[in-house]
Amino acid sequence: MSVVLGMALAVIPFTTLPAASAVPGDPMLVQLGSDPAQLRQFCYSTRCGDEEWRRGSALAPSLSFQGKRKGRPTLPGSQRWISLWAPARPRDHTASYSNNWRVGTRYHVDALRDGPTRLGLQLGAGYRLAPLNDDGIDHRGAVLRGAVDFGHRINDRANWSQRIQFEAGQDGSTFVKQSFGLDVSLWPEWTLESDFQIRHRETGQSGSESAESTLKLRRRF
């Protein structure tokens, strides 16, 4: 049996189709059909067989591919309906402080700040640990403090500022300090600064006043 199968496999590859005279029809078509090897075309191209599936190929100009992957679809209700950005800072703030001569807290509000004129109000309470000649009453104890800051831009080169600061303690002790200042820009790097201060201190039935002024020419490096 194995000998017959081996002879069959050896003979089949060499068998050919019937001759052209044995098949009816046009002799030229019959000759081409009888020898399939003549239907093969020689190919001298070095392009790959899947060239028509590549992007930008001349074989498939209708194909288009997107370079970026599409994002995930947004679900209903996940869109932002309003997008706002508010760079403005609040007009008021509170702060606690402590140093070598006083501890306390204060509240500050900017009444005017967006125009050429500015006005700030400050009020707070604390405890004085040690007296300071230029800042408050001259003995220890609980104090009530406040300040009024005023400023005005006269023009592009001149600014006026004024500050009134007060502190009140026990036994009717009070301290008031007023500061006036005028800054004038002479050149881009040079500024003329003037300052005038008046201090009033009152303790019981006695009181004292002092004043001083300064004039400085400052250069920025």
What residues does each domain of the chain span?
Answer: 2-53, 92-219
Best CATH choice for the domain 92-219 from the list 1.10.10.10, 2.40.160.10, 3.10.310.10, 1.10.287.130: 2.40.160.10
Place of tokens 């020898």: 35
Per the CB < 8 A criterion, the answer to whether 25 and 17 are in contact is: no
How many angstroms separate the CA atoms of 102 and 139, rounded?
11
3-state secondary structure of 98: strand
pLDDT at residue 192, rounded to an integer = 93
Q: What is the percent of the chain with per-residue pLDDT over 90, rounded to a whole number? A: 43
pLDDT tens-place string over residues 148-192? 999 999 998 999 999 999 999 988 899 999 999 999 999 888 999
pTM of the model: 0.57
Is the per-residue pLDDT at 212 higher than 80? yes
- The encoded tokens of residue 131 equal 């007296």
Give the pLDDT confidence score for residue 65 in this predicted structure. 46
The pLDDT value recorded for residue 14 is 46
Quick one: 111 exposed, middle or buried, by C-beta within 10 A (0-12, 13-18, 19+)? Answer: middle
Contact 179, 195 (CB under 8 A): yes
Residue 205 is predicted with a pLDDT of 77
